[in-house]
Each structure stands twice: as C-alpha cells, then as structure tokens.
Amino acid sequence: MRNKKIYTIFTAVLLFFSCEIAAKGIKSDVSGIDPYYITGTKENREKFLELNKLLKQEEPGSEGEFAVISEIARSFGQQKDFDRLIHFLMARNINNSADPYNAYYLLMIAYAYIQLDSLPIAAMYFDLIVNNYPDLSINEESIHLVCLTQLIELNRNPERQVWYYNELISRFPDKIDLGIAYFMLGQACEKIGDWNGAIQAYTNYLPYTGTLILGFPNADQYAKQQVDFSKSQKDWTFESLPALRSTIETALDTGNARALQRCQAKVNFFGRSWGQTETDEGRMVDFNIAEFMYNNRIRYASSLDATSNATEAYLRTTGWSRYMEIWYLYFRKINFPQDPEIHGRWEWAGIYYGERF
C-alpha cells in the first residue's frame, strides 16, 4: 500500500504523455548519449537509444522533456535497474537545477530507494522535497501530500511526526482522515513533552470519535479522559497510595458515605466487571455509593491485592450487595506531566465488580 499511490502517479503521467512521445521524430545523431544508460536486452537497448535521442531534441524544462525523462525512468524501473534510474534522475537534477519537474524526479528517486529497501535514504528525499521544493500536482495529486504520507511511516522521530501531522492538517484537511491525524498528533506531542499541544490535539479529535486507529482500540476513551481530566479541578487526588488507602478505609470503618464519595475521581470514574474492557459501556454517571452502604457493613482486605504494582492497585472489599457482594476498588497513579503538582499523585479511579479471575 505504501508504494501504490506513488506508482499510480507514475502511471498516470506516462499515460498522459504517451501520445506525445509516440508523435516525436527521431534524429540519427547519437553523439553525447551516455552508453551507461543503453542497457538490457537488444530490444531494450534500442528503446533506450531512441528515447535518449528524443530527449536531446526536447526543450529543457518542457512537458515533452518531462514525458521522455519519465518514460526512461519507468523503463529502468520495469527492469528493476534502480541504480541506473537513480543515477539518471540525479544527473538531471544536478545539471538542471531550475527544472520545474525536479520535485517529481526526486520523488521517483525516493521510490527507487524504497524498492532497494533503503528506507532512511528514501525518507531523506521525501523530506528534501517537502522542505526545499514547491509543491507539484501530477494527475491532480499533490507531491507534498504523497511525501508527507510516506514520511509518517518512514520517520518515527516524534518531533518530525508533530511537524508532519501539523502540515497534513493545515494544508490537506480534505485529503486525509482528520480523526487519525489529530489523535496521532496528540500522541506525538506527548512524546516530546508538549502537553498543551497534546490536549489541544485530543480536543480536536473528539468530534471524530468512532475513528478506527490502528494500534489504539481505546482511542476515543483515551482522548476524552485526557481532555476531561485536564479541565477538572483534580481536588480528589492524594499525595500517595497509603494516604488514599487510609482515607478510604477510615470512611468504610465509620460508614461515612460522604467522605468516601469525596475520594472518588470526578471524571473518568468507571464501574465494570472483570470481563468488560474500556470500550464497553461501564461508566457510572449517577453512581450514589451511599445507597450501597446503607445498612451494610463494608469490609476490606488487610492488604492490597497481589497483582498491585507501582502504578495500579486493587483493594478487595465485601458486603456491598447480595447481588454483587464483592467489589475491587481500583487505585491508579496519575500520569499527567502537563501539571507537575498533579503528576504522580494517586486517585480512586473505579470499581471492578465480582471476584477476580
């Protein structure tokens, strides 16, 4: 799929100019033709010779020259002679720096390097085109759009990813999936520590919920959690897990539902069974814990569940309801580098119903 769009552009160009190539007369003069580019079978050598003769007749930078150069490069590609393709187009680029089609020739070079599995070099050429050459539309397809799409896949540097996605969003909003672009921009911003940029990207993503993003099945919830948490007061957080646990256990010992409710996270608090995932419906919008504590003696384990770790912890409790007696209170270390005073604190983030299996 990565090469299909580029190859489609090449094919469209060749079809567009094929009649022009066929209509040209061929001179008999072969002086100045580099024999290095006359290669392959006898039939192919004759073809390359005729094309090079025709090339000498064309006006530099003209559409006719562009058509012939593209046909020569395509023929090298058909023979899988990518080294000659690269040398041929690089020579054209170096010797004709003002050629209006140089961006396209460099795109073909990048494509050749992909075929040679030299992906870092291909990425360098895609980047060169976007940063140093004006955009060029071939068959109504932007070369810069093709390059940026390729660079998203080839260059995983987070700083460059931020730039690529911003370029795609600002320049080609009607040509891309904005949902994917905004979410992945948020991910890239997180990696470079631009937390304000990440929250803004996730905010922009929210109108596109339901977008399928490869590798992120919970993208909708993640984006919403980040946005909602950033806007909240965060006054339910605790400095440490022991402090959070002590406050909750005291509230349970005294049957103080109001004190217990104050410990609940005010955003993104969930309630679900162990078999449910984050994508399942499990949010408790109007959850009133006092109703479950009334006339019940809630007990809790003397220690945290053995599966607890440095960022997540579970406290087994019993006595809530005859229908669902066992609840595991879920505590989570907050990951919110945007606010150093909140980052690393703890919250009571949700409840898992039933015995853990």
Query: By percentage, how much of the chain surpasses pLDDT 70?
Result: 88
**Structure confidence at residue 14 as a pLDDT band (50, 70, 90):** very low
Residue 236 lies in a domain: no
Q: Which of 184, 207, 231 is the last residue of a domain?
A: 231
pLDDT bin (cut points 50, 70, 90) of residue 121 is very high
**What CATH number corresponds to the domain at position 176?**
1.25.40
Q: Give per-residue pLDDT as tens, 184-233.
A: 999 999 999 999 999 999 999 999 999 999 999 999 989 998 999 999 99
Q: pLDDT digit string (tens) for 64-83? A: 999 999 999 999 999 999 99
Confidence of residue 282 (pLDDT cuts 50, 70, 90): very low
pLDDT at residue 138 tops 90: no
Asked, for residue 197, whether it belongs to a domain, the answer is yes
* pLDDT at residue 26 tops 50: no
Same domain? For 45 and 109 the reply is: yes
Range of the domain at 196: 156-231
Q: HEC profile for the chain?
A: CCCHHHHHHHHHHHHHHHHHHHHCCCCCCCCCCCHHHCCCCHHHHHHHHHHHHHHHHCCCCCHHHHHHHHHHHHHHHHCCCHHHHHHHHHHHHHHCCCCCCHHHHHHHHHHHHHHCCCHHHHHHHHHHHHHHCCCCEECCEEHHHHHHHHHHHHCCCHHHHHHHHHHHHHHCCCCCCHHHHHHHHHHHHHHCCCHHHHHHHHHHHHHHCCCCCCCCCCHHHHHHHHHHHHHCCCCCCECCHHHHHHHHHHHHHHCCHHHHHHHECCCCCEEEECCCCCCCCCECCCCCHHHHHCCCCCEECCCCCCCCCCCEEEEEEECCCCCCCCEEEEEEECCCCCCCCCCCCEEEEEEEECCCC
The reply to whether 144 and 163 lie within a common domain is no
pLDDT tens-digit map of 148-173: 999 999 999 999 999 999 999 999 99
Q: Which residue has the higher pLDDT, 328 or 276?
A: 328
Same structural domain, 349 and 306: yes
Residue where a domain stops, chosen among 107, 129, 151: 151
> Which of 242, 272, 247, 274 is CA-nearest to residue 262?
247
- Note whether 146 and 160 are same-domain residues: no
Flag whether 7 is in a domain. yes
Q: Cα separation of 159 and 191, whole Å?
A: 8
Question: To the nearest whole percent, how much of the chain has pLDDT over 90?
Answer: 74
As given in the structure block, the two tokens for residue 67 are 């058509």
Q: Which pLDDT belongs to residue 279?
A: 56
pLDDT of 307 strictly over 80: yes
- The CB density around residue 113, as the number of other CB atoms within 10 Å, is 21
> Of 231, 249, 265, which residue sits at a domain end?
231
pLDDT at 33: 82
What confidence score (pLDDT) does residue 278 get?
64
Q: What is the pLDDT of residue 333?
A: 97
The pLDDT of residue 34 is 86
Residue 116 lies in a domain: yes
Query: Structurally, how many domains does the chain consist of?
Result: 3
How sure is the predictor about 5, in pLDDT bands with cuts at 50, 70 and 90? low
